Structure 1
Amino acid sequence: MRTGSFTPVIICLLFLVSGHHALSQIIDFREENSYKKVFKQTDNFGPSYLDTLEMAYVQAPSDSLRLTILNDLSYYWHTRDLAKAYEFTQKGLREARELELPKWVGRFQITQGAILLRDEKLDSARIVLGMAMKRVDRDELPMLFTQLGYVAEREGDLAKAAEYAMRTLKLGEQLGDVHAQAQAYSDISNLFWKQKKFKKGLEQGLLAIELFESTGLNDLDYDFTLYVVGNNHLALGNTEEALKYFNHAISIGERYGFYNNLSDIYISLADLFGHTSELAKGEAAAFNAIRYSERLNNNFMLMRSWLALGKMQRLQGKYLSAIKSLEKSIEIATDDFGDAFFLSDAYQNLGKAYAGSHNYRQAYAAFEKYDELQKEVFTAEADERMSQIQTEFDVAEKDNTIQIQGMQIRKQQIIQTLGIVLIILLILYLVLIFKSARTNRRNSEKLRIQNEEKEFLLKEIHHRVKNNLEIVSSLLSLQADQILDPKVKSAMIKSQQRVHSMSMIHQRLYQGKSLSHIEMKDYFRNLGNYVIHSYGKEDLITLDCEMEPITVDIDHAIPIGLIVNELLSNALKYAFPDDRKGHIRISLYQRGSVLHLEVSDDGIGKDNGHGTEGTGFGTQLIALLTTQLDGEMDLVVDKGTSVSFNFQLTQAA
């Protein structure tokens, strides 16, 4: 046994090495509870926590504490470096056997099984975990069942993996182990995802997230569950939600050095960018996955990372590069790789890459292998067992619902007792509310009457403005009939049309539901027909309003109406000489804060002074109104004339 005399020296040394407050958060041998178990009692530390544990475990004041720290050190090194994880696990097993502590031998064997699993030694992992089952206590079996489930999953036996997840869940419920229950739901979510039952997978994954977050700790399994939920979201087409979960998982993985999870996440991130056609980002994510897999020295991750890269290269049309990457992925997956799910994915993409490079014979062979592997994954037995598990979940939820309802009934009885007292108080309170409500109702009625009066007055104002403008329009029309000079008469008619276009705005204001906005499609149609009729060309010219119904406030509607009036007049005067037939098209639509207007015709297409250039009043008026609306104008003359405008709606006219 070590004494406490070295504690201050060790504390100082560890503090200098870690460079932050992680040591005081994890280990302080001066306290009674000298070790706060990582990811069990605290997660308030950075990526150097493994260095802290490595330097501290040899100074632990008791065998039990030393083995506890050493086991955590062994387990969490397997997320970064399998060789170092092996090294510490062997130390732990040797010490536990020398001290003749069979339970500790079992605990280190569970850790050893997890490492063997990550190192693709599935048979060895199953054997070691089987030996551990005979040694550990019942409360450590959920962790053991979880690892056995992973072995079954890697071997492609999803039904057996699901059975282990259910055993973990039931045992977690019996032990009151929230983490074990969350882990089980997480594993079931992942299995549903592999079975392409994404809605069920998402449901179970979100339940796992809720349980993990109730512990208040970010750990390896919570990080993995974020990745699983992201996968289900991605499969359902919810790319934004998937990206949110992937980014959250990456932040946790980078903080604590979970290289295996980071490799997983970047593989899925590559798929996500493939869905969103951001192929360069997808390729970069795949290279990140390869980088973390190589640091971890994990062939399973490396195989999938090269698969992700091959997918991205294929989507970019780099078929030869894709073939090389996918063949490398398959080469890494040795004969005892076991996981037909990812191997089938590799052959499917290889077949597509060969087909893209016109090597159809090789493509056919790859697709044949894909079909063969798919039959291994999606067996009737696996599908039936997953359906049974879903049924068990539904039954469990109903049982929980019955228990919850019983608790609610008891609560209701208490509430009823209190309710009698509260009712008396409420009656008094309601009397006060009634008096207050009656007063408010009277005030509301007064306000309603006032609002109706104001609305009536506003409509009446618009009606009178419209009538006055019609009178002015009529006077201008009468005056024009008395004028012999063609130019002056034309100017008077145009002025009369401008006034009429404004009067139509006010007519729609008092006739419509809104007192501040105009529906422009119907307005353009009536204005256009009026102008065409005034020129006597209703049999020659057709008007098309190619637009969806759109409302515009009066401050924009009046200037836009005047602009359209000018352009219609110009088109009718100059674009269709000699009683030529034609079409005029008006279009108005909104994109964000920009209102786009276009008026075009299929006339002679020559700018004979009737366009937006020139020195006439109409041209000046259009330019002035465009500036007033903070707009931009564009003229195109080619087989007709097209004038378009972009107006900013954020500024008042």
Structure 2
Amino acid sequence: MQYDSAFHYYKLSLSPRYKSNNDTLNASSLNALGTLFHYRGMMDSAIYRYSDALRLYQRLHQDYYAMAVEINLAMSYKEIGLYRESLDTLLNALDYLERQPPMRYLVVCYNTIGGVCTKAGDYQQALEYFNRTLQAAQVTGDDDYIAISLNNKGETFLYLTQYDSALACLIRAENIKRSARDTNALGNTLGLLGETYMALGNDARAASFLQEALAIKTAAGARLGQLVTLLNLTRLNIRRQEYAEAKVLLDRAEVLVREKGEPDYLRQVLEQRFALYRATHPNDPTIRVVNELLIVKDSLLNKDKAKSLQAIHVRYQTAKNLEYIADLEQEDVRHQAWIRWLVGVAVAVTIVVFVIYLLYRSSQRNKKKAETLFKELNHRVKNNLQILSSVLSLQSQNVKDEDALLAIKSSESRVNAMALIHKKLYRDDNHRAIDMQDYVQELGNYLVHTYGFTDGRLELRIQCDAVAIDVDKAIPIGLILNELVSNALKYAFDKHAAPTLEIRLQEQGADEIRIDVRDNGVGISPQKTREGSGSFGLKMVKMLIKELKGRVDVEIQAGTVYQIVLPL
């Protein structure tokens, strides 16, 4: 009744007779009306109102409210299976949210992206976003979404057939919900626990959890929740050869699904009808034909979903990389005109490399041909970077100004750090991962000789675990190492009798690496850095670490130590 009244008054407020001249108020009413349509299951009407509200907020440059409407709009797209539109909208909202202090909308956005990825069958990507949901919920102290993210992680592990991990997450979610006495939400967790125990072959425990879940969802009038649980109980009874009970449960499910006519749930009901028929009529020859048809149909649908989802993520990552490179270019405009041009060329080449690589990856169809093309691409990029390095080296021979010479050498070392990556990609059979042990050794030796240190003049210690890192992370890690090692070689050892430089790269568990760069030089003054408070190189290091979602500590004790921790 309350929903009906709200629905009536919101519609009335937007009618020509009562419509306000205040567009902010109109946008708020449209958003509220869209939410009411969403709760009624009228997704087309909800999307129409949300879209109007979004246009008004965007025209008024009210980014916060526009972002909130985008999340609502994405949820409606998700409900009707428009996963591409949903993910595009969510990623646009996420671009705004990740530049703000953590808030509940960030938690909701991460969780909804994970849900879209789950629906599209990209379970690894879904897990990544559910982990982000859990971390953000813990930061904001949102206990409801801590339980929700654990519930969603458990469901995703269930799809991946990682049942022990699924149980660990779902049992934690169950305990939180029972403690909070959140009965309605508990029903979803109990249903998933029932599915997990059913997959493990523990039919008695599965039946217990599923029956409790059905009782909760029936009492709450949760029609879709009842449907899911009835279908799972039907599967369990068919497996236990309790066909009469399975038919009773399936009849209940069909009555519910035909009230609203959702195609996906109707498909599941009909599949269970077929499974029951197959169990009770094992010798019917038509069963084999229908089975094969269903397998082919599911395979084609999953393949189309995966391609669509991959294309969306490639576009989003391309936009993020271009934004990051634009920030670097803005910092570089303070240099002299001819230095700006040289560094600009290096940045432009990097942009081309990233864009070609990402476009290449998204359009990969023939593996053998694609590997050959990608290897040739890395060879050409390596040659172009080496040509640029040679230009910088030649230019440095005619420069007398010390600051300008250091700027050119810094640009040259950055280009070589990237060229070394592409040289290894060209030589190795693995076209995605970089052997960091070999790479760090070669980069360290190159920089030592570039800055005029001989083997007897400086002791270089390199300790690197045998870890392979994806090229998307190896390139920024190489640039970070290049800046820190170059800084030490340029400034730390002035008139030092026994200079020592130590580089360590070690794995910390299964999902982190730690990088230490340590020297025994003069140390960093509290008032300034080695290149000044406005150092382009150190700002770039800070930006790269932030982009990789890592953290850095600096210690000054008998020299300088940079300690960096990065997630893999």
Question: Which TM-score applies when normalising by structure 1?
Answer: 0.43
Q: Which has the larger radius of gyration?
A: 1
Question: Which TM-score applies when normalising by structure 2?
Answer: 0.49
